[in-house]
Structure 1
Amino acid sequence: MNAKVQNTSLTHLAKDPDWWRGAVIYQVYPRSFQDSNGDGIGDLNGIADRLPYIASLGVDAVWISPFFTSPMKDFGYDVSDYCDVDPMFGSISDFDTVIETAHSLGLKVMIDLVLSHTSDQHPWFAESRSSRENAKSDWYVWSDPKPDGTPPNNWLSIFGGSGWQWDGRRLQYYLHNFLSSQPDLNFHEPAVQNALLDVARFWLDRGVDGFRLDTINFYVHDKQLRDNPPLPMDQRNSTIAPQVNPYNHQEHLYSKNQPENLAFLRKLRALMDGYGAAAVGEVGDAQRGLEILGQYTAGDDLMQMCYAFEFLANDQPTATDVQTVMDRVADVAADGWPCWAFSNHDVKRHASRWELDADGLRLMTTLMMCLRGSACIYQGEELGLPEADVAFEDLQDPYGIEFWPEFKGRDGCRTPMVWEPSNQNGGFTAGKPWLPVSHDHMDKSVAGQEDDADALLHHYRKAIALRKAHDALSQGMQDDMKVTGNLLTFTRELNGEKLFCAFNISGVSQNADLPSGAWESAASDLRGTVAPAVNTVHLPAWHCCIAVKKTG
């Protein structure tokens, strides 16, 4: 244990245990951020080298996707050792360097904990599958077959096919909500919960400031293993899984979202509170995502934040869509706290998914920074990177390989970061990158945008700075949300400061009426933002107005 890192971190954390509320979090996908040793795979030293860039954006924290020991069947989301670093990413001392460097720059560090399942190469699973009598025999979800030899119920895997895999050693099936090489842990076993709390404690002692909790609503399964009911066709959508996947045909009533999960989350929160740490949970549910978000973030003894997939969906949100989501959050999560993201490592990049031009990207970025909740930015979105076109022969993602060509998987959003245009690999690596660098990304590199005052990169910095300059935007009440056509208006208010926000989410000019009172621009240097006039403001296509009420 590096005592210096630990002590520095705890002092750092003690300053503001509520740092997460309204925070802006930058997601790093380690394999594709920066390679420091020329093997074509990003690593922890590469992250440490690039932390000054992340800090320059003005964000509060960095979320690092899994870097644990893993056979990499699902690129780190299949963990074989929770308490060590996979050699391809470096060493535990390299991670200590990341922590120390981040903290010296004023950045918090959140790591991606994958608690619902492990790799089938984890020692826990090796022991569990060895017999029905060993000490860990109940650490995973095992079940006898039906009399005809078929799986115990109809649960499906997100990656396609049955959620059950036959094991010839125990002569039983084991549950896997994802790949068959990712067996689900049995949270009904107290020893499993204790072991996972020990994992969280290990990293908290190491100095992390919090966690991103992968598939937080998948932890607990129905102990009776009841069949999931069918989902009516008019309720199916591709928010969580592509339409070509039969996973969409079920209402996942019993395979996830179980009420017993709350007891474990309270234990985890109690542990985190001792360190001043915070968590954001990923709620994977296409029908009840916001409701579960509300359940898991209610009060002060569960998770601080969760995010659902409403703004990670395929269709570009209209003003009405945003209002619908926010009204639903106010209804089911009034006592909780959402975290919003437009892109991440699991979905097509929103520049392509929503077919946005530069004006549209700027407007949606400003909108994110004005909505109530915290925000996650995925590496490269601040550059306006589109989805990369990855040829089938270059695919790495098992999800895409399974459903190609109707669904091309997640590799298109995971290609390497482009740092500068002169290197054929965008400055990511001196070797052959694990995924090809997109030629369409080269003219959007960090170096190229740093030299362009009108570049999207600078807009992200200014939009984040706007959020930081007004506590009402990061932590205040959100009220009076209205929609006229594709014009969205609302107010944010905290401690006597009131802001009026108007967003023209369309390609047609619109006028917005200002509330009574005297207003002045809160974002005069933000491109795409219009200053308020008397009583009204004219908004060209994809423009907004962020106004603060004058006092005195």
Structure 2
Amino acid sequence: MTSPAWFANAVLYQIYPQSFSDSNGDGIGDLNGVTDQLDYLAWLGVNTVWLNPCFVSPFRDAGYDISDYLAVAPRYGTSDDLVKLTDAARRRGIRILLDLVAGHTSDQHPWFLASANDPTDERYIWAEATTLPEGWVPSPGSRPGSYLRNWFDSQPALNFGYARMDPDEPWRQPVDADGPRANRAALREIMDHWLGFGVSGFRVDMAHTLVKDDPSKAETSRLWTDLRGWLDRAHPEAVLLAEWGYPEQSVSAGFHADFFLHSGGPTGGRAMRSLWHNRECLDSDTWDPVDCFFDAEGNGSPRLFYKTWKSAAAAVGPEHLCLPTSNHDFARLACGPRTAEQLPAAFAFQLTWPTLPAIYYGDEIGMRFIPGLPDTEGSVVGPRYNRAGSRTPMQWDDTRNAGFSTAPADALYLPLDPAADRPTVAAQRADTTSLLHRVRRLIALRTSTPELGPAGDVRVLHDGYPFTYLRGGNYLVAINPRREPASLPLALDGLDGAVPLETSGVTVREGALDADGFSYGVFALTGR
């Protein structure tokens, strides 16, 4: 898989649209609000924006339950507003990606309402057996039996067939049955529709789950390979990003990049969680405890992440691996006991490591995960698992509602961070020592230095504290995310003449490197 030139060294920025910027004062962010903030994104230096779903929906799962794939939800604006956004973004060198929910619809979608009353309709997976495994929901219509859900009961699974037949489960259909064929054609229609409006591709939700009982993902991969072939002919500049977790499968299936996830993948998400996931904020009873490398106590290690990354990079190339700071489903970097002084080192790592970095809106100013919020549009998915804390309104300035909206405070999509010292874009833009300016400088350094992008090679010199590596043979990076300082004996040509490019608390001398607590350094080795 070869990425389009515009995406080859992308820096992504994820926007949760209902929480980013409200242009009409109704308390919910919208597309015109995103357009209003494009100058900020261009100033920051990102070139690719991924929007969470903005289609018509009853919003029982924050828009991941779609009732019309071909229309913008009125609360976000209109299709014309999306065209205005994509055009204005292109003029600033920014591409817009939409979120494609491929595996299920809302139970309010006309397809499902018809299927629930027509025993011959095969768009969804239905069974008439009285005893069924977990995950089946009784029919809400005149059709007898139950339907298979993907996540919530309100998200019936679209029928893309089963990879394996089972005589004990007669409802299973092959991937070339009428229902699966109709759904594959619908995916093509949906993508073609929005690509015609100027978007540049899609992040695909749960991309690996379409064909059921597909342990090797061979049939799911074949489905995406077929769609990728069509895209290459009809829209060759369009990209696909996968929520999958196995780059070896997804990239060979036609995706341009796969995300490192907090769950799933070959390590069950431990590789990502061992990096900077903070379990004190957002947890699942099924996740095993793992010490975090980017926590202050210094009990973690980058080794599991590095081993997992190395295997995937060897298989598909690091330019197809996407590393997020967080996202709408998981805790922000600034979570629990993690303080603002710990965040710059995390960004210094993310923006100098060979992957495609993805910044979740607000992480660049250190927005905090806010615990204890109400269940909002399906945000609660477990006793200690409320995703609302990562979805609060963007904090732009010190005006009313932090500049997010002119609506009354009780009309906002979610409450704001109530802390008096909550970070804002305006305050940090005025302070060149702020996290925001550091992130901007790191993005600019990465963009202007090919050796620091995904294509440059990496040589790990030390896999403890400080994590130290060489990029492109001439750029030295050291990351010390713990509270305690660290020193590293380092026999490296050119070290004594190293030129600091972006540093905070790291110094080099002949034969050694010294790192303060919560420090990072990027150096050019000019004498090599």
* In 1, Cα distance between equivalents of 2:503 and 2:403: 29
Q: Does residue 481 of structure 1 match 2:460?
A: yes
Rate the CA distance shift 1:79–1:500 in 2: closer, same or farther, 3 A.
same
Q: Which of residues 254, 265, 280 is equivalent to 2:224?
A: 265
- Cα offset, 1:76, TM superposition: 0.9
Q: Is 1:534 matched with 2:510?
A: yes
1:296 maps to amino acid: S
For the residue of structure 2 that corresponds to 1:361, the secondary structure is helix
Structure 1 position 303 matched with structure 2 position 262: no
What corresponds to 1:468 in structure 2? 447
2:493 to 506, 517, 520: 517
Q: Which letter maps to 1:40?
A: G
Alignment length, in residue pairs?
472
Separation of aligned partners in 2, 1:132 and 1:56? 55
Deviation at 1:491, TM superposition (A): 2.1
Is the contact made by 1:388 and 1:440 (CA closer than 8 Å) also made in structure 2?
A: no
Counterpart amino acid of residue 242 in structure 2? G
Percent identity over the alignment? 31
Structure 2: how far apart are the matches of 1:61 and 1:521?
33
Q: How does 1:29-108 map to 2 (within 5 A)?
A: 29-108=16-95
CA-to-aligned-CA distance 1:243-269 (integer Å, 9 cap, x gap): xxxxxxxxxxx6x77321101111232
Aligned to 1:131: 118
**Inter-partner Cα distance in structure 1 for 2:511 and 2:84:** 54
Find the residue that maps to 2:37 and give its secondary structure: helix
State the secondary structure of the residue aligned to 2:196: helix
Partner of 2:308: 328
Distance (Å, rounded) in 2 between the aligned partners of 1:451 and 1:263: 51
Contact 2:367/2:422 (<8 A) preserved = no
Counting only pairs closer than 5 Å after superposition, residues 228-377 of structure 1 correspond to structure 2 as 258-273=217-232, 274-283=235-244, 289=245, 292-298=246-252, 302-307=254-259, 308-309=261-262, 310-311=271-272, 313-314=277-278, 317-318=292-293, 321-336=301-316, 337-352=320-335, 355-377=337-359
8 Å contact kept, 2:503–2:522: no
Amino acid at match of 1:448: A
Q: Structure 2 CA distance, aligned partners of 1:422 and 1:466? A: 32
Question: The residue matched to 1:440 in structure 2 has which SS?
Answer: coil
Aligned to 1:507: 483
Partner of 2:131: 150
1:343-377 Cα deviation digits (max 9, x unpaired): 11111212115x32233100011000111110111
- The answer as to whether partners of 2:303 and 2:463 remain within 8 angstroms in 1 is no
Q: CA deviation at 1:514?
A: 3.7
Distance 2:113 2:428 in 1: 49
3-state SS in 2 of match to 1:434: coil
SS of 1:199's equivalent?
helix
- Work out the CA distance in 2 between the residues paired with 1:210 and 1:280: 8
Question: What's the C-alpha RMSD, in Å, of the aligned pairs?
Answer: 2.3
Q: Which moved more, 1:337-346 or 1:262-271?
A: 262-271
**Alignment partner for residue 549 of structure 1, among 517, 525, 528?**
525
Any idea what SS the aligned residue of 2:34 has? helix
CA contact (8 A) 1:24 1:376 kept: yes
Structure 2 counterpart of 1:487, which letter? P
Deviation of residue 311 (structure 1)?
A: 2.8
1:521, 1:138 → 2: CA distance?
A: 65
One-letter code of the match for 1:387? F
Report runs of 4+ in structure 1 exceeding 6 Å deviation: none
Aligned residues of 2:354 and 2:458 also touching (Cα < 8 A): no
Q: Is the 8 A contact 2:96 2:199 kept in 1?
A: yes
AA matched with 1:501: V
Q: Structure 1 residues 18 and 141, CA, compared in 2 at 3 Å: closer, same or farther? A: farther
SS of match in other structure, 1:500? strand
Q: CA deviation at 1:531?
A: 4.4
The separation in 2 between residues aligned to 1:522 and 1:144, in whole angstroms, is 70
In structure 2, the residue matched to 1:243 is none
Measured at CA, do residues 523 and 63 of structure 1 come closer, stay the same or move farther in structure 2, by a change above 3 Å? farther
What residue in structure 1 maps to residue 191 of structure 2?
200
**Counterpart position of 2:177:** none
| Change in 2 beyond 3 A, CA 1:482/1:514 | closer
CA distance 1:426–1:390, shift in 2 (3 Å): farther
Moved more, 433-442 or 50-59: 433-442
Q: TM-score, normalised by structure 2?
A: 0.84
Relative to structure 1, the CA distance from residue 62 to residue 509 in structure 2 (aligned partners, 3 Å threshold; closer, same or farther) is: same
TM superposition shift of 1:168: 4.9
Deviation at 1:325, TM superposition (A): 1.8
Gaps of 5+ in 2: 162-179, 263-270, 280-290, 295-299
2:267 aligns with: none
Task: Give the deviation of 1:533 after TM superposition.
Answer: 2.2
Give the conservation status (yes or no) of the 8 Å contact 1:140–1:186: yes
Per the normalisation by structure 1, the TM-score is 0.80
In structure 2, do the counterparts of structure 1 residues 35 and 26 end up closer, same or farther at CA, with 3 Å as the change threshold?
A: same
Alignment match, 2:284: none
| Contact 1:311 1:341 survives alignment (8 Å) | no
| 8 Å contact from structure 1 (residues 523, 529) kept in 2 | no
Aligned-pair CA distance for 1:34: 0.8
Contact kept? 2:506, 2:521, Cα under 8 Å: yes
Are the structure 2 counterparts of residues 40 and 549 from structure 1 closer, same or farther at C-alpha, using a change threshold of 3 Å? same
Partner residue of 2:424?
Answer: 445
2:456 and 2:46 map into 1 onto residues whose CA distance is 21
Cα 1:527/1:390, change in 2 over 3 Å: farther
CA distance in 2, matches of 1:416, 1:166: 37
